[in-house]
Structure 1
Amino acid sequence: MFLVDSHCHLDFPDFAAELDDVIARSRDAGVQMMLTICTHLSKFEQVRAVAEAYPEVYCTVGIHPHEAANEPEVDAETLMRLAEHPKVVGFGETGLDFYYEHSPRAEQERSFRAHIAAARTAQLPIIIHTRNADDDTLRILDDEMEKGAFPGLIHCFSSSHQVAERAVEHGMYISFSGIATFKKAEEIRGSARMLPLDRLLVETDAPYLAPIPHRGKRNEPAFTRHTAACLAKELGLSEQAFAEATSRNFFTLFKKVPSPF
C-alpha cells in the first residue's frame, strides 16, 4: 500500500511530543508520503524544519486566510523565494474563510491573489481553503485563470459540487479529508463519485477532522487510510487501486516531489 497524506500540520504543538512515533505509525499504515502545510509565514522555518527532518515529508509556504490580517503582508516574490528550497513544493494554504472571518474579507482576497501569482509564475501548486465562500472563491479563480493558468487543489473539500466541477475545469484537483467518512456527508461522497478519478487526492488535515472510526480524537497521517478506504468503496475500487491512483495524482500535481512510480 502506498498512500499520500496530501495535507497535514506536523509542526503543530499537538505532535511535538511524539512526532517520530506519528511518522512511524504512518509508515506502518501505508502512508508513505506526507505534505505538511504552512499556515503562518512567521512560522515557516518550523514547518520547513519538519520537512527537512524526515525524507517522506515535504512542505508548503503560505498564510492561512484566518491569518491574512495578522501576518506581515506577503507578495508573490517573497513566496517564490522561499519556495526555492527543495523541500518546499507548493503555496498555501490560502483562500477564503467567511465562516469565522478572523481576517477581513479584503485582506483574505489580497493574500489569496498574491499566492495565486506565485503559483502562476513558479508553476507550483496552490493549496486552497474555502469555507462559506464558494461564490467569491469561484469569482477569484475564474478571474485569475484569465491572467494565466496555475496548478492547484481545493483541500478538505466540503463545498458544492459546482465548485468541484469548476475547479476541475480549470485543471485543478480536489482533496478529500476525514469529513467524507461522516454519516451526514453523503453530498461530499457524491462529489467524489462524480469527479474524474485522476483529479482526486486524500488528506487528513491533521490534527483536525479525524475520520471514522477515530472521529473526535486527534487526527494523524496514519488515519488517511480510513478516508481512502471509504472513498474506494464509494467508487467501487479496491483500496490498493484507489491508493495507487490518488498517489499518482499527488506526484503529477506536486512535480517537485520525486515520484516512486
Structure 2
Amino acid sequence: MLIDSHVNLHAPQFDEDREAVIERARAAGVRLMVNICDKVSNYDKVRALAEQPDIWATVGTHPHEAKEDPGLAAETLIAIAADPRVVGIGECGLDFHYDLSPRDIQAQVFRAHATAARATGLPLVVHTREADEVMGDILEEEYAKGPFRILMHCYTSGPALAQRAAALGAWFSVSGIATFKAAEDVRAVIRDMPADRIIVETDCPYLAPAPYRGRRNEPAFLPHVLAKLAEVRGWSLEEAEARTEDAFFALFDRIPRQVVLGP
C-alpha cells in the first residue's frame, strides 16, 4: 500500500478544501498518512485530524519555530506522546539556511526532542538543512546517552551526514525533490541509502513532485515520489511499495499494521 509518512494537512493552505484533499489521497491509493506537528502550540490542530483512522500524528517543534518556546521540556513532549495516536517526536532539528530561530536555541530544543524520543521509544523525525556537521555531532552525542530511532525526513543533505546517520541505524524518507531535474546530488545519496530503511513522503503542501512542481503539493501526488524512488534504486514499483511499507512499519511501530491491512 501507499503510505505518506509526512503530511502537513493542518496547514492553512488546506483550509478551503482539506476534506477533498484527504479524499483525493484515498482515491489515489494512499492508505495511511502521518500528520506532522510543526510546533507544540499547534498540536491540537495536528491531533484533530488524527481522529480519522488512516491519519496519525506526531508532536514536536520545527527548528524555524524553536524560538517560540526555547525552554521546551522533554517532559512536555513525553506527556503529549502518551496519546496512542501520536507515533513520532518532531518534526525537529536544525535549519541553518533560513536561521529563523537562533542556532543555539535550535540545538537546545532539538536535544529536548532527542531526550523525548529516547524516553518514549518513538522515532525522532529530523529536519536538517545546511547543518550537516553540527547535526551529525548532536545525533551522535545524544545517541551515546541511549539509543533512539531516527528518521532523516526529506533527506537532501550530503553523503557524509547520511553515512553518520545510517551508522546510528537511521531511516531516510524520500520526497518530491527526488524528481527535480537539478537534484542529481539528492538521487546519488538515495542510491546509497540502506535498502531496508527507506520510506516516502510528500511533505505537502510543499515540494510537489514533477509533473506538479510549483503547485500546492498533496498526498495524492505520492505515487510520483514512489515511482522515482523505484527508478533510482532499480526496483519495480511493486518492490518499492513493499520495501517502503515494511520500512515504515518497522519505524512507526506504534501503528498496528494488522489494523491497517486487515487480518
State if a TM-score over 0.5 links the two structures: yes
1:105 deviation in Å? 0.6
Partner of 1:51: 50
Measure, in 2, the Cα distance between the counterparts of 1:110 and 1:138.
15
Moved more, 17-26 or 98-107: 17-26
Partner of 1:235: 233
Aligned-residue CA RMSD (Å): 1.1
1:156 deviation in Å? 0.9
SS in 2 for 1:92: strand
Partner of 2:132: 134
SS in 1 for 2:210: coil
Structure 1: segments with no counterpart, 5+ residues: none
Measure, in 1, the Cα distance between the counterparts of 2:244 and 2:145.
29
Measure, in 2, the Cα distance between the counterparts of 1:64 and 1:222.
24
**TM-score (norm. length: structure 2):** 0.96
Deviations 1:140-181 (A, max 9, x none): 011111111101211111100111121111011011110000
Partner of 1:26: 25
SS in 1 for 2:196: helix
* AA of the residue aligned to 1:75: A
Partner of 1:218: 216
Establish whether residue 68 from structure 1 lines up as the match of residue 66 from structure 2: yes
Partner of 1:82: 80
User: For 1:1-261, what aligned pairs fall within 5 Å after superposition?
Assistant: 2-52=1-51, 54-71=52-69, 73-260=71-258
**TM-score (norm. length: structure 1):** 0.97
Provide the aligned length of Structure 1 versus Structure 2: 259
* AA of the residue aligned to 1:31: V
1:72 deviation in Å? 6.0
* AA of the residue aligned to 2:242: E
Deviations 1:6-60 (A, max 9, x none): 11101001112222211111112121111110011111011000111x2111010
SS in 2 for 1:197: coil
Measure, in 1, the Cα distance between the counterparts of 2:17 and 2:237.
28
Measure, in 2, the Cα distance between the counterparts of 1:235 and 1:61.
32
Is the CA contact (8 Å cut-off) linking 1:42 and 1:71 kept in structure 2? no
SS in 2 for 1:157: coil
Deviations 1:115-164 (A, max 9, x none): 00000111100100001100100010111111111012111111001111
Measure, in 1, the Cα distance between the counterparts of 2:29 and 2:40.
31
Deviations 1:207-243 (A, max 9, x none): 0000000000000011111011011011111112101
Measure, in 2, the Cα distance between the counterparts of 1:209 and 1:111.
25
In percent, how many aligned pairs have the same letter? 49
Is the CA contact (8 Å cut-off) linking 1:153 and 1:172 kept in structure 2? yes
Measure, in 2, the Cα distance between the counterparts of 1:73 and 1:16.
31
Measure, in 1, the Cα distance between the counterparts of 2:192 and 2:65.
33
SS in 2 for 1:256: coil
Is the CA contact (8 Å cut-off) linking 2:70 and 2:109 kept in structure 1? no
Is the CA contact (8 Å cut-off) linking 2:37 and 2:58 kept in structure 1? yes
1:71 deviation in Å? 3.2
